[in-house]
Structure 1
Amino acid sequence: MSNKLHSTFLVLSVGFLLTACGKKEQPTQEQPIDESAVAVKLTPVQVGEYSLPIASSGLIATENESRLSFKIAGIVSKIYVKEGQSVTKGQLLASLDLTEINAQVGQAKNNLDKTKRDLERGQRLLKDSAATIEQLQNLQTAFQVADEAYRIATFNQQYATIRANQSGKVIRKLINEGELVSPGAPALIINAASQNNWLVKIGLPDVDWVRVKIGDHVKVTTDAYPNTAFEGVVSTINEGADAISGLYQAEVKVNPGNKKLASGLFAKVQIIPTDKTKLWIVPIEALVEGAGKQAYVFVANADQKTLRKVSVQIAYLEGTQAYLWSGVEEVSEVITAGSAFLTENSTITISK
């Protein structure tokens, strides 16, 4: 009896163990990892109204820069100033040898005196009926011609010297004593630098000319002060293009602050127009295959695993940002970190 119970207990025990083994859970299988996927980061695309800067360059000058010259030709007798010298308005700067011009004045005066005597004699003869009215009229005409010739000679004598037309400094001396100069040839250049009325003369193409207005804000930089940006404003815009360059000339008034400027310094100009344009902003690192104003960005597809390459039009670059004309109007995020390692057939994993 006991043996039969023992056998039954063994059978039940073995059955229980087999049932427990049969219910043992199978281990879950992990998803395979795509080791070829490139880890990337996404950055939101920003959009807003911005002023597209206009870049140009020119030379610094003063608003009242004058190129002084002699009215007549002659030999330079004396130059009374040197480059860099301060002058006052009306100061004598240079003169010609007056031998020839004084002789011309004397000749014109003698001719005037003669025609005057002839006219007076003709008037007396007309009263005595010894001269005709026509003869008297001819004498009057001769006197008037002689008078005008005398006025011309004395006027030229006055401008056989150069006097300062304003207070300032001599920035260039273009002649030397003893040289023969022609009428109107620049001899001395002076400016009113003491008034701090500095400006930059620039040329604008037609596409920029239509966007610039008088009063637009300007930033001016120079190699002389590489870490200083001078404030300025557009003061003049020409309505006609230069016949040689085809550019529209404009002037920018510069505030030098406490810095010392000089005529002839090369300056870079960035004009900030008041008119604003709708632009999209992405980090520069998102751009790939850039060529001029054309570039591409990578955009993740909806599955977050594949991507597409989108063509964009660059407006300008500033700092670490790229301002775009078009291409990302329907895009909310672009790929930044990792974009340099991507192709159109790449798979990606997005890092947070």
Structure 2
Amino acid sequence: MKYILTILTLSILLTSCGDGKKNTVEKALESNDLETIRKKRAELVDQQQVLHDKIMLLDEKISVLDTTKNVPLVTAFKATPEEFNHVLELQGNVTTKDLMVITPEYNGILTNVYVKEGQWVSKGQTLAKIDDGGLSQQLAQQQIQKDLAQTTFERQKRLWDQKIGSEIQFLQAKSNYEGQVEAVNQIQQQISKTIVKAPFSGKIDAIITEQGSVVVAGQTQLMQIVNLDNMYIETEVPERHLNTITVGKNVEVIFPILGKTINTKVRQISNVINPSNRTFKAEIAIPNKERDIKPNLTARLKINDYTNKEAILIPQSIISENAEGEQYVYVVKDKNDRNQGTATRVIIKTGRTQGDLIEVLEGIENSAELIQEGARSVKDGQTVEILILDNQQND
């Protein structure tokens, strides 16, 4: 301020000098007379002091007349109701019920493998064959005995129907025939176990055991089959969300590795709480027409657990807290035509948060103007001037 006054004073002095006095300072300098120079300097200092005193009088008058001098500038926005969808963020893994490592039901040599890796197969299609160890020959012999027993039974039945022969002969023939039928069925069931079939339609993901190997029932892994059509994500949800995460809730699924996001719904909720971590399982259906989503892929989930159609959202940064632990914000009231108003402290009650925004449940009316920039520096009842009125509170 001192430098500004000095420059201003010199400017006035130079301006006030007439053409005749314009070179007075120069003449004093040219005289090379010390007394002359000192005298000219003293004259200028006296004139500077007079101007300074006049400027001070002007500043005092300005401070009295200028009512906007101490009014702080703030920005504000209008509280406008909007739809608020709160989401619970979780992590889950992709899985499918149609993923299986096929093992044999019969001990023996794997004589034939009829499929290749990557091949699509239908449910019930024959995938491989295990040597039956002579069961086919036993079946042929047993079939002959069954046919003989059937013929004997049919003849004995005709005689019995005509009241010829004894009942015991009829019953023996019947029993023998039924025993032979059961024996044939048992051998056929054993032979059917030597044929490996597809449990569901899908793709052969891997051939694990090669043709000619000895396999053990229930232990040897023959091949892996997978169907990518019926995929879903399984996630564990904390038990406190039991009433909010329900079947049919909207879910945004993000696959970071694929750079892909899809929208789907919760399709199933577990009825059991895991006692070890106090969570319950939720299944989220995954449409996979492109079949680029694979089992065990990690996904981030955003499940809609709360919706308010008429929510008032404000930035968390404008909220302060008093000694009693109450939250408050400042609203502008009684605004005049110069965009000036009174900063008024308002106690609020807040709800859920989403990012930098928080839901206000009580305390703020629709279309109220809330102070944003400058909210932490104003005081209750202070006059403020709104610099910018921003309807987008998060801008």
TM-score (norm: length of structure 2): 0.55
**Offset from partner CA, 1:182-227 (integer Å, 9 cap, x none):** 2999952222x5xxx46433457643454626xx6x543212223x
Task: Tell me what 2:80 maps to.
Answer: 46
Pairs within 5 Å for 1:194-233:
197=229, 199-202=231-234, 206-210=242-246, 212=248, 219-226=252-259, 228-230=260-262, 232-233=263-264
CA distance 1:306–1:187, change in 2 (3 Å) = same
Query: What are structure 2's unaligned runs of at least 5 residues?
Result: 1-56, 334-340, 388-395
Pair 1:249-2:283 in alignment = yes
Give the 3-state SS of the residue equivalent to 2:171 in structure 1: helix
Report whether the alignment pairs 1:181 with 2:194: no
User: Which letter does structure 1 place at the counterpart of 2:119?
Assistant: S
**Maintained 8 Å contact 1:49/1:276:** yes
Aligned to 2:195: 161
Deviation at 1:79, TM superposition (A): 5.0
What is the letter of the counterpart of residue 207 of structure 1? N
Kindly state the Cα deviation for residue 159 of structure 1 after the two structures are TM-superposed.
4.0
Q: Give the CA deviation at 1:313.
A: 1.0
Structure 1 residues 127 and 305, CA gap change in structure 2 (3 angstroms): closer
Task: Tell me the amino acid that sits aligned with residue 278 of structure 1.
Answer: E
In structure 2, the partner of 1:322 is 357
CA contact (8 A) 2:104 2:220 kept: yes
Counterpart Cα distance in 2 of 1:186 and 1:327: 65
Instruction: Give the distance between the partners of 1:103 and 1:288, measured in 2 at CA.
Output: 90
One-letter identity of the residue aligned with 1:87: W
1:268 corresponds to: 300
Moved more, 91-100 or 175-184: 175-184
Deviation at 1:47, TM superposition (A): 1.0
Shift of 1:68: 6.4
Report the structure number with the largest CA radius of gyration.
Answer: 2
How high is the sequence identity, in percent, across the aligned residues? 14
1:316 Cα deviation after fit: 3.2
- What is residue 350 of structure 2 aligned with on the other side? 312
- Aligned AA (2:294): A
1:55-86: per-residue Cα shift (whole Å, max 9, x none)? 55544457x93536457343462656565x22
How far the C-alpha of 1:347 sits from its partner, in A, is 7.8
Report the AA paired with residue 271 of structure 2: A
Distance 1:344 1:71, change over 3 A: farther
Amino acid in the other structure paired with 2:205: I
Which residue identity is paired with 1:307? R
Give 1:336's match in structure 2, choosing from 359, 372, 390: 372
Task: Give the CA deviation at 1:323.
Answer: 5.2
Tell me the equivalent position of 2:100.
67
Give TM-score scaled by structure 1 length.
0.60
Given that 1:206 and 1:248 are in contact with CA atoms closer than 8 Å, whether structure 2 keeps it comes out as no
Amino acid at match of 1:314: R
Residues in 2 aligned to 1:163 and 1:67: alpha-carbon distance in whole angstroms: 12
Q: Secondary structure at the match of 2:81?
A: strand
AA paired with 1:336?
Q
State how many pairs are aligned: 305
| Structure 2 equivalent of residue 13 of structure 1 | none
- How large is the RMSD of aligned CA atoms in angstroms? 5.2
Structure 2 CA distance for partners of 1:211 and 1:253, relative to 1, 3 Å? same
Distance 1:314 1:301, change over 3 A: same
Distance 1:50 1:116, change over 3 A: same
Cα deviation, residue 154, structure 1? 1.6
SS at match of 2:330: strand
Consecutive unaligned residues in structure 1, runs of 5 or more: 1-23, 290-294
Contact 2:232 2:283 in 1 (8 A): no
Match of 1:21 in 2: none
